Amino acid sequence: MYRAPLLLGLRLRRCWRCSFSSSFPVRPWRGGGAGASEEGAPSAPGLPAMARVPLPIPLPASGPDRQSALLAAASALREGGLVALPTDTVYGVACLAQDSRALGAVYRLKGRAASKPLAICLADVEHVYRYCNVCVPDKLLQELLPGPVTLVLERSDTLNKDLNPFTPLVGVRIPSHWFIRELARECAGPLALTSANISQGASSLTVTEFQELWPHLSLVIDGGPTGDIHRPESRLGSTVIDLSVPGKFKIIRGGCALIQTVEILAVKYGLTAELPICGQLTQSLGK
């Protein structure tokens, strides 16, 4: 018999761009339907369903159970597992970036092309210098991070060579969300992070929106909706900016914080856009 992964319901404090709901009850997946396995669990592209795990556990806003959730997630990651969790934008799936086998599991889970890179998540800005070669001022990093931004930088030799072996660059995230940052700190290293959905699918704002992935995850952390499910802009994800060339920046993905980010880069720090910025954005910056 299949049983859904452990879901930990958290009452979270207000974050950078949205307020989280209180405990968000989720029932374990019981149905069949298209893509379901013989045991009733829907199938992800390349992974078998997990063995039995505990039923959902609702957690209070504070106290020892909050710490227990963090330790449970860290333990799952250290054992090579994949953990779904909220960020400051959408739900993500994380594993240890230095664990090559876990990286492979992420790609199989999402049905993701091997040529598509994974970002890393760090606990603090100071850790960026350990895993990347930085060519922008520290104050610039401090203004953008933590926040809903992914900065693409030149990677250092410290990073696992099996992480994005096809590129000398890596995307860096420090979400404005206490749980994932504390998780990276507890694991004492970078987390590989991707969105909690099948490749090319819509981003997830609640745990039920990626329910088909539950059977293939070690743990699901339920922090409630990360945004308004009725507003398409809530699913934009982080703004992705390439800062690997000194004095320049390149917009890789607009995301949810484009105008604020470009204003910091171009207006405050005088960086030059590698590609022309569209007229609408230029007008916004001029206001």
How far is residue 242's CA from residue 140's CA, in Å, rounded to a whole number?
14
Read off the pLDDT of each residue in 216-221 and give the average, rounded to a whole number. Answer: 92
Q: Characterize the bridge pairing of strands 219-222 and 83-86.
A: parallel
pLDDT per position as a tens digit, 119-178: 999 999 999 999 999 999 999 999 999 999 999 999 999 999 999 999 999 999 999 999
How far is residue 127's CA from residue 131's CA, in Å, rounded to a whole number?
7
Read off the pLDDT of each residue in 238-252 and give the average, rounded to a whole number. Answer: 97
Band (58; pLDDT cuts 50, 70, 90): very low
The pLDDT of residue 44 is 55
* Domain layout of the chain by residue ranges: 6-286
Other beta carbons less than 10 A from residue 58's beta carbon: 16
* Eight-class DSSP state of 267: I
CATH number of 6-286: 3.90.870.10
Band (2; pLDDT cuts 50, 70, 90): very low
How far is residue 255's CA from residue 243's CA, in Å, rounded to a whole number?
16
Band (69; pLDDT cuts 50, 70, 90): confident
The pLDDT of residue 67 is 86
How far is residue 259's CA from residue 239's CA, in Å, rounded to a whole number?
9
The answer to whether 94 touches 218, Cβ cutoff 8 Å, is no
SS3 169: strand
HSE-CB for 286 with a 13 A CA cutoff: 7
Nearest residue to 117 via CA among 157, 153, 144, 73: 153
The pLDDT of residue 39 is 38
pLDDT per position as a tens digit, 219-241: 999 888 999 999 999 999 999 99
The pLDDT of residue 99 is 98
pLDDT per position as a tens digit, 6-41: 555 544 333 333 322 323 233 333 333 333 333 333
Nearest residue to 43 via CA among 94, 102, 110, 92: 110
Band (52; pLDDT cuts 50, 70, 90): very low
Other beta carbons less than 10 A from residue 162's beta carbon: 13
The answer to whether 93 touches 44, Cβ cutoff 8 Å, is no
